[in-house]
Amino acid sequence: MAVATMRPEVQPQYPVIKPGMMGMYIFLASEVMFFGSLFAVYFYLYGSHLVWPPPAPKGVSDFYVSWYPIPLVNTIVLLSSGVTCHFALEAIRHDNRRRFFMLQIATIVLGFGFEIGQLIEFIAAFGRGLDLRANTFASAFFTMTGFHGAHVLGGLILLVLILYRASRGQFSSQHHVGVAAVTLYWHFVDVVWIFLFGILYLGVTAFR
């Protein structure tokens, strides 16, 4: 008697997004809306003034932003950190732990270098008597760059935590969702800065 044999059905394989990455995607979507709102307010202010930036108030030296030297150096530093962060992820994907640690530390150092550059620029502006209340451009400038700096600081905290966890052997080629999620976040702050640099520095300088 022939006996029928049941062959197990082959389940189709679909790409699955890990929960950690999905959480980061959702978080970054909210961040896109947050920064999008800031940019929308800035362009509204720009369209509402005949002269942009508005004249500085009495007692404050005329405020202008120059893309050189600190902003340009800061841009190079931050984008370089994005490169090192990317290759750090690639290193852990291939279980090259030594290269991962070197690149991760380089990313953190470059990130702190960017923050120091921003702090120097803010101190110089305050020294000229410029603050959030000087005019509408100053308010927008400090708000947008300040929030971005806070996001960079948050990213640095995450990068340090990743470095600590990696030192305890928690990441490998099979398990590196945390590294990938933080790398994605770091690329996000890089992209936001490109827009800020183009609008707040190059754009303002070009129309003066």
The secondary structure of the chain, three-state, reads CCCCCCCCCCCCCCCCCCHHHHHHHHHHHHHHHHHHHHHHHHHHHHHCCCCCCCCCCCCCCCCCCCCCCHHHHHHHHHHHHHHHHHHHHHHHHCCCHHHHHHHHHHHHHHHHHHHHHHHHHHHHHHHCCCCCCCCHHHHHHHHHHHHHHHHHHHHHHHHHHHHHHHHCCCCCCCCCHHHHHHHHHHHHHHHHHHHHHHHHHHHHHHCC
pLDDT at 1: 47
- What pLDDT, on the 0 to 100 scale, is given for residue 207? 58
Domain limits of the chain?
Answer: 66-206
Residue 159 and residue 29: Cα distance in Å, rounded?
A: 20
For residue 2, report the phi and psi dihedrals to the nearest 5 degrees. Answer: -80, 135
Q: Are 28 and 185 in contact (CB under 8 A)?
A: yes
Could you read off the pLDDT tens digit of each residue along the chain, which spans 208 residues? 455 555 555 554 555 678 889 999 999 999 999 999 999 999 999 999 988 888 877 766 655 678 889 999 999 999 999 999 999 999 999 999 999 999 999 999 999 999 999 999 999 888 777 778 888 999 999 999 999 999 999 999 999 999 999 999 999 999 999 999 999 999 999 999 999 999 999 988 765 6
Question: What per-residue confidence (pLDDT) applies to 7?
Answer: 53
Question: Residue 8: what pLDDT?
Answer: 53
Return the pLDDT at 132: 82
* Predicted local confidence at residue 128, as pLDDT: 75
Q: Which CATH class is domain 66-206?
A: mainly alpha
Is residue 81 within 8 A of residue 162, CB to CB? The reply is no
